[in-house]
Chains A and B, each alone.
Chain A
Amino acid sequence: MKYKLLVSIAKSLLLARWKQTLVAAVGVTFSITMFITLLGFMSGLNDLLDGLILNRTPHIRLFNDIKPNLNQPINIHPDFTHSHNFISSIKSESNRQAIYNSIAISTRIKNDKRVIGFSPKITAQIFFNEGSVDVTGAINGIDYNEESRLFHFNEYITSGNAEDLDKIANSIVLGKGLAKILLADIGDIVYISTSNGERFQLKVVGIFQSGLGDIDKTQSFASVGTVQKILSKSNSYITEIQIKLNDIGMAPAMAKEYEALFETDAEDIQTANSQFETGSSVRTIISYAVGITLLIVAGFGIYNILNMMIFEKMDSIAILKATGFSGKDVQTIFLMIALSIGLFGGLLGLVFGFGLSSAIDQIPFNTPSLPTVKTYPINYAPIFYTIGIIFSLITTFLAGWFPSRKASKVDPVVIIRGK
């Protein structure tokens, strides 16, 4: 009841000055529109770039690095265990790159609740023989289904049928750049030789394009079995296990855990790709900065209109106070005016922001490196809209605070005496 009365007074004051009010509201609308559009667009871009690298990157990689043994014989010798031993010119032992015990590790990971899934991988350096020329490249043995499910491998196949990797023996998917160098197309046969000098013929079943030129020029994919055969290894031979987690934030901790548990090397995505997060956060900061700047400008507009309104309504404030409205009531009235400008302008801003975002979403954006993207990317996350409306309310509240405080302090005696 009490607030109903204050609301109706606020409404009347506001409607009596609806033109100025509208101008102030349009300011808020404009800034929220830009805020929503910018954030949606920027984070759309972020998602796109993240997708380009992060989606395809395992959260944790298990592998064996070639490196010298940390337990050199002298450290084990009883006479020297407590001394600091300097050893120079250590050589890496010819340890194998294969992951020991890969089957046991697989079962262990499969039962870990924090893991979405994993896929095995074998990487080997090979030569592609094109006439008399040898092109250096790499062949990756992968499990097509898991690789697609976890790391979106299928999205980067531009032609051919990559599923055939598992169905057709001795088949291969070439990077687009590599295929161009080898003048190979779907159905063609390419010749490869391993570092041991063994030669193989593989049938091209697909072409992939990752968007990163270097990868497309050197990489190729085959099934795990095919690569094991090429390297003449047993069917437990894998050089890498790629793991995807439910919570990417846990990757560093879990990498350490697995490293100790499985006695392999483990690298987490944060360490491997730290530069991407920096780029994302810079873009996000820019969007927020622009949005907030616009809102501050709009806030000054509201501040002005309220000051003007209060100046004009001195008489009304005086009589309200004389007839029993307290300073707090008066302050509430003017804060309500400010907040309703913020709410109305803000909501309209959300609608326009959504509209503008959708419009940008329709603009064609074709780039050869991103085959799955057809229009400019937009993120419609509800959180931006929530933040937008909260920001507009906070700004208008602050802009309304000082004028309404001034109104609450109006001394009716001074006004009435002045008449």
Chain B
Amino acid sequence: MNSTILEAKSISKSFNDPIKVDVLTDVNFTIQKGEFVSLTGKSGCGKSTLLYILSTMDTSYDGSLFIDQIIMPKENEQFLAEIRNKKIGFVFQFHYLLNEFNVLENVMLPGLKLNKYSREEVEHRAMEKLKILDIDKLALKKSFRISGGEKQRVAIARALINDPMIIMGDEPTGNLDKKNGDLVLDIFKELSGSFNQTLLIVTHDPSFAEKTDRIIRMEDGRIIS
């Protein structure tokens, strides 16, 4: 049985600003269910650009992208928003929590948007995710009143709320100190190990990459291994 979660087929991208620069050239790879993949390479080699394409947020590229074996259209904004909501969880370098809401509400937002469970159920599920990440005590705190490491963990809980097929991260430990960075890595390892969660994490930290199942290396917009 085929359990490919994500497939990139000859994806290329260039910026025309001010002259034509090829950022990605003929990128091909697949990710299977349960894999913990890291994407590494020097700064500026195109990792983030690739991740934004894989996450469906950037639609101006050549080639095709399949998520859950469905080809992603490049026009249908509404459809792509639903895909992101249902199938992809994000963790960025910056946490992007909404200051107007408390921790629990921040985690619940994508769950409420999904509109699959009742509000009570979404709240219950959000609490469970917070417990997994050991921050359930912070549930009712305003999101700007917690520490940087805690914020990033809340962001991970938010990424998990809809049980996504894949979690994508763009240098999620980039803003954290060693201790918190390690903590986040441990969390990813646990999600991968205990919950068979598929992850694709961009990093330029070799020690982080080494702890993952598989490393995709990039150089000048190409995959080299």
Q: Find B100's partner among A13, A323, A325, A329 (CB 8 Å cutoff).
A: A13
Which A residues are CB-close (under 8 A) to B55? 322
- Does A199 interact with chain B (Cβ within 8 Å)? no
Which B residues are CB-close (under 8 A) to A12? 98, 100-101
- Does B151 interact with chain A (Cβ within 8 Å)? no
Which A residues are CB-close (under 8 A) to B189? none
Knowing A324-B85, A328-B78, say if A413 contacts B115 (CB, 8 Å).
no
- A62-70, A92-100, A313-321: which lies at the interface: A313-321
How far does the Cβ of A324 sit from chain B's closest Cβ, in whole Å? 2
CA distance A5 to B114 in the complex (A): 11
CA distance A318 to B52 in the complex (A): 13
CB-based contact B84/A322 at 8 Å: yes
Interface size on A, residues (CB 8 A): 28
CA distance A404 to B85 in the complex (A): 22
Q: Identify which of residues 74-119 in chain B touch chain A, using a CB-to-CB cut-off of 8 Å.
A: 77-78, 81-82, 84-86, 90, 92-94, 96-101, 109-110, 112-115
CB-based contact B96/A318 at 8 Å: yes
Q: Find A324's partner among B52, B82, B92, B93 (CB 8 Å cutoff).
A: B82
Interface size class on chain B is 20 to 34
Which A residues are CB-close (under 8 A) to B82? 324, 326
- Does B57 interact with chain A (Cβ within 8 Å)? yes
CA distance A320 to B112 in the complex (A): 12
From A415, which residue of chain B is reached at the shortest CB distance? B96
CB-based contact A326/B96 at 8 Å: no
CB-based contact B113/A5 at 8 Å: yes
CB-based contact A316/B94 at 8 Å: no
CA distance A319 to B93 in the complex (A): 12
Knowing A323-B110, A324-B110, say if A416 contacts B84 (CB, 8 Å).
no
CB-based contact A326/B77 at 8 Å: yes
Which A residues are CB-close (under 8 A) to B84? 322-324
CB-based contact B78/A323 at 8 Å: no
CB-based contact A324/B81 at 8 Å: yes
- Does A1 interact with chain B (Cβ within 8 Å)? yes
How far does the Cβ of B122 sit from chain A's closest Cβ, in whole Å? 10
Which A residues are CB-close (under 8 A) to B97? 319
- Does A419 interact with chain B (Cβ within 8 Å)? yes
CA distance A266 to B182 in the complex (A): 100
- Does B64 interact with chain A (Cβ within 8 Å)? no
CB-based contact A16/B52 at 8 Å: no
Which A residues are CB-close (under 8 A) to B57? 321-322, 411-413
CB-based contact A327/B85 at 8 Å: no
CB-based contact B94/A419 at 8 Å: yes
> Which residues of B come within 8 Å of A, CB atoms?
48, 52, 55, 57-58, 77-78, 81-82, 84-86, 90, 92-94, 96-101, 109-110, 112-115, 158, 170
Closest 4 CB pairs of A and B: A324-B85, A319-B96, A12-B100, A326-B81
> Which residues of A come within 8 Å of B, CB atoms?
1-2, 5, 9, 12-13, 15-16, 315-316, 318-329, 411-413, 416-417, 419
* Additional 6 contacts, C-beta under 8 A, given A316-B98, A326-B81, A419-B94: A1-B115, A5-B109, A13-B100, A16-B99, A324-B81, A324-B114
24 contacts between A and B (CB under 8 A): A5-B112, A5-B113, A12-B100, A12-B101, A16-B100, A316-B98, A319-B96, A320-B109, A323-B85, A323-B109, A323-B113, A323-B158, A324-B81, A324-B84, A324-B110, A325-B81, A326-B81, A411-B57, A416-B92, A416-B96, A416-B170, A417-B52, A419-B93, A419-B94
